[in-house]
Amino acid sequence: MTDKYLIFGAPDIRQAEIDEVVDSLHRGWLGTGPKVARFEREFASYKGVDEHFVAAVNSCTAALHLSMIAAGIQPGDEVITTAMTFCATVNAIIHAGGTPVLADIDPYTWNIDPADIERRITPRTRAILPVHFAGRPCDMHAIMDIARRHNLKVIEDCAHAIESEYKGQKTGTFGDFGCFSFYVTKNVATGEGGMVIAKREEDIARIKTLALHGMSKDAWRRFSDSGYKHYQVVECGFKYNMMDLQAALGIHQLARVEENWLKRQAIWNRYQQAFANLPVTRPQEPEPDTRHAYHLYTLLIDEERSGISRDGFLQRMHERGIGTGVHYLSIAEHPYYQQRYGWRPEQWPNAMLVGRETVSLPLSAKLETTLTNQVILEVLAAFLKL
Ligand SMILES: *Cc1c(COP(=O)(O)O)cnc(C)c1O
């Protein structure tokens, strides 16, 4: 039907991004420099926080890892996160030396269930790592209340949730840390890229040091024109800094974040209406007094009820030239975690079920009306067996 394959999560790159990258190339300043500083300022302003409380890094995975370290996670410490997330969330806990403890999701919102967090708290629990899944904000009042009562750190995985708000407060500003992704498929794309927001300025200072080999703060200005400065290594750090080439994309992507949000909201709403009578489970409408980031539009396909299996549907859409995604198989489906922690998917039944039935449809700001119509027609055809 389509002469071109519709790639899932294709970024919307415009001339402004291209010109900004070319400008960096002409100037010869490719690495961390003025454009990263500007992107940090503008991101902080978008999230309504002071620029001294953010740090750009080269991925959300790096942001999560550094936040774990800055939160003081030590070997033996337990961190509670959701069974329905990308592997990077769990890996960040493990890389910091912590022990991941999974909580199940709420069967309707698909976000971490605060009651299950509470059940899994032990004397070794140190932190909670909620994920605002698909862009729907978690129940942050309940989660922050649990954290206060048990003296736990909170690290928000906001990879899907740049634009999200919960009861008038922006996601990433509830916890001690908020971690954002600018990966190709995310709502703001720099190719690879990430950002941390922290509650305390000293935590951001430590994260900036850790992101650049553990070199003292002035090292970020080492190559400026104010003369050579010796640097001191004060910790064993990492190579997690963002490049100006990435920030060049981010500056212009961020400038269109609201425009793109409106476009994705319109597509999300069209899907909701178009699929109302299909034998599938659609996402819940956003809760009152919250803002959904519309990062993913996912359906649940139950073979018995839908007449087609999830994987059969994925294959059919692929054959019709439409790229789809699976977000995600539940964490306990993966052999590494099964072998290391003895986990079985059945221990988190809600996450297991969603992981086995979920499919994400294209939801890019780039998706024009005709393409959205084609996706809708192909989805309808798959269930009406046309
Ligand atoms: C994409 C994603 C990440 C990792 O982001 P990167 O920037 O690719 O490292 C982490 N958590 C979730 C929920 C994600 O979707």
Does residue 181 sit in the same domain as residue 195?
yes
Is 9 a member of any domain?
no
At position 126, the amino acid (one-letter code) is R
Q: Is 196 in the pocket of ligand 1 (CB under 6 A)?
A: no
Does residue 43 sit in the same domain as residue 166?
yes
The per-residue pLDDT for range 259-280, each reduced to its tens digit, is 999 999 999 999 999 999 999 9
Does residue 250 sit in the same domain as residue 284?
no
At position 227, the amino acid (one-letter code) is G
User: Helix, strand, coil: what percent of the chain each, to 5?
Assistant: 45, 15, 40
Q: Is 246 in the pocket of ligand 1 (CB under 6 A)?
A: no
- Per the structure block, which two tokens stand in for 252? 């212009």
* Residues of the chain above pLDDT 70, percent: 97
CA–centroid distance, residue 59 to ligand 1 (Å): 8
Q: Is 61 in the pocket of ligand 1 (CB under 6 A)?
A: yes
Q: Write down which residue in 255, 282, 316 finishes a domain.
A: 255
- Ranked by mean pLDDT, the top range of 1-5, 133-137, 217-221, 366-370 is 133-137
Q: Write down which residue in 195, 222, 255 finishes a domain.
A: 255
Q: Write down which residue in 237, 255, 273 finishes a domain.
A: 255
Does residue 190 sit in the same domain as residue 207?
yes
Q: Residue 36 sits in which domain range?
A: 15-255
What pLDDT is recorded for position 385?
A: 73
Residue of 186, 199, 229, 366 with catalytic role: 186
What is the mean predicted confidence (pLDDT) over 125-139? 98
Is 4 a member of any domain?
no
How many domains are there within the chain? Answer: 2
Q: Which atom of ligand 1 is nearest to the CA of 88?
A: 10
What is the mean predicted confidence (pLDDT) over 183-210? 98
Model confidence at 1, pLDDT cuts 50, 70, 90, reads: very low
The per-residue pLDDT for range 134-160, each reduced to its tens digit, is 999 999 999 999 999 999 999 999 999
**Cα distances (angstroms) measured from residue 110 to each of 8, 162, 189, 328, 361:** 21, 18, 24, 11, 17
Q: Nearest residue CA, atom 5 of ligand 1?
A: 60
Q: What is the pTM of this model?
A: 0.97
Q: Is 159 in the pocket of ligand 1 (CB under 6 A)?
A: yes
